[in-house]
Amino acid sequence: MSVTYSIVAPIYNEIDNLPLLYRRLTDVMESSGEPWELILVDDGSTDGSTEKIRELAADDARIRPVIFARNFGHQIAITAGWDYARGDAVVIIDADLQDPPEVILELAKKWKEGYEVVYAVRAEREGETWFKKFTASMFYRIIYRITDVKIPVDTGDFRLMDRKVVDVLKQMKERHRFPRGMSAWVGFKQIGVEYKRAARHAGVTKYPFKKMLRLALNAITGFSYFPLQVATFFGFISAGVSILAIPVVAILRLAGSHFFEGQTTTLVSVLFLGGVQLISLGILGEYIGRLYDEAKGRPLYIVRDAPRD
């Protein structure tokens, strides 16, 4: 079957959003006049989303359900969508309708102009607290500055990618994944399209602060050696301070100064150096833990039910 567009939507407990998501996507894609498919990746939902996905698929052959055996996470669900997509262009979109399906046509327009990755840039964000907006803004800008790959700021996973890009991404099997960084890393001809991000239609966010922090850590460790360089920097600073302090203390002691008498200075120095060492060990532990996960060689996800064609 020839498919022009594959729409991939990761689903985790989105029972209240699925019917409207399906209707809006159907209206948008039918207006394009080209063949399309909708890949709904159920990431271990427990609220009835799994049954609703199967119901929609039974009524519309263009819906291809991919049902995970358990929850593997949003980034892995996106990966499964890449694996099962058959279209010439693959669109990643969230199921909460914060990413308006109508924007897909704007992304497709740029794709037809020759761009191979068209990412959606969040010009406005509705329905989010100032803390969420502030931390998200900081996240994107820090990642942009310290990673080796220049990942566009204010962009999420909402994007359209050409088949050749998706085929390259499917070869990247790292466990701790950051898809928006991966799509920037592969290169190709890329461009952004601004849009107004809507408020969530129903349900609660699947990315609280803790998960955002984990995502940021995956992005940093997956695309930068900056944390290791920081640890090295602190090591040199500590060594430099120690080297400078030795002659100063010796001179003051010979001069009869009582400034450095007692245990306070020793305790402060030990605590400082111990803190630097523990931070450095923690950073090394993060990278070593990722090496351990890669060495185990487990599959990225396990599918309970998926299309066979």
Q: What predicted TM-score, i.e. pTM, was given to this entire model?
A: 0.70
Region of 67 please: left (phi>0), alpha (psi -120 to 50) or beta: beta
pLDDT in the model for residue 90: 92
Helix (H, G, I), strand (E, B) or coil at 160: strand
Q: How far is CA 242 from CA 21, 199, 235, in A?
A: 62, 54, 11
Through-space distance between the first and last CA atoms of the chain, rounded to whole angstroms: 9
Q: Do you know the residue count of the chain?
A: 309
Own/partner contacts of 232-235, CB < 8 Å, gap of 24 or more, are 234/276, 234/279, 234/280, 235/276, 235/280
Query: Residues 80, 155: contact at Cβ < 8 Å?
Result: no
Strands 89-92 and 155-162: antiparallel
CA pair distance 108, 191, nearest whole angstrom: 12
| Strand order across the 303-305 sheet | 190-197, 117-125, 155-162, 89-92, 5-11, 36-42, 63-68, 303-305
pLDDT in the model for residue 160: 93
pLDDT in the model for residue 16: 85
Give the CA diameter of the chain: 91
pLDDT in the model for residue 39: 92
pLDDT in the model for residue 265: 62
Classify domain 5-224 at the CATH class level.
Answer: alpha beta
Strands 63-68 and 89-92: unpaired
Q: What residues in the chain have per-residue pLDDT under 50?
A: none
Residue 38 backbone dihedrals phi, psi, to 5 degrees: -120, 115
Tell me the per-residue pLDDT of 251-279, one tens digit each, with 9 for 90 and over: 766 666 665 555 556 666 666 667 667 77
pLDDT in the model for residue 106: 87
Q: What residue type is assigned to position 27 of the chain?
A: D
Task: Give the helix, strand, coil percentages of the chain, each rounded to 5.
Answer: 50, 15, 30
CA pair distance 143, 290, nearest whole angstrom: 19
CA pair distance 55, 256, nearest whole angstrom: 87
Spell 245-284 as b/e; 16+ CB within 10 A means b.
eeeeeeeeeeeeeeeeeeeeeeeeeeeebeeeeeebeebe
pLDDT in the model for residue 292: 67
Tell me the per-residue pLDDT of 155-214, one tens digit each, with 9 for 90 and over: 778 889 999 899 988 888 877 777 877 888 888 888 888 887 766 656 566 555 666 667
Determine the Cα angle at 35 with ends 32 and 36, to 5°: 90
pLDDT in the model for residue 299: 73
CA pair distance 279, 293, nearest whole angstrom: 21
Provide the β-strand partners of residue 196.
124
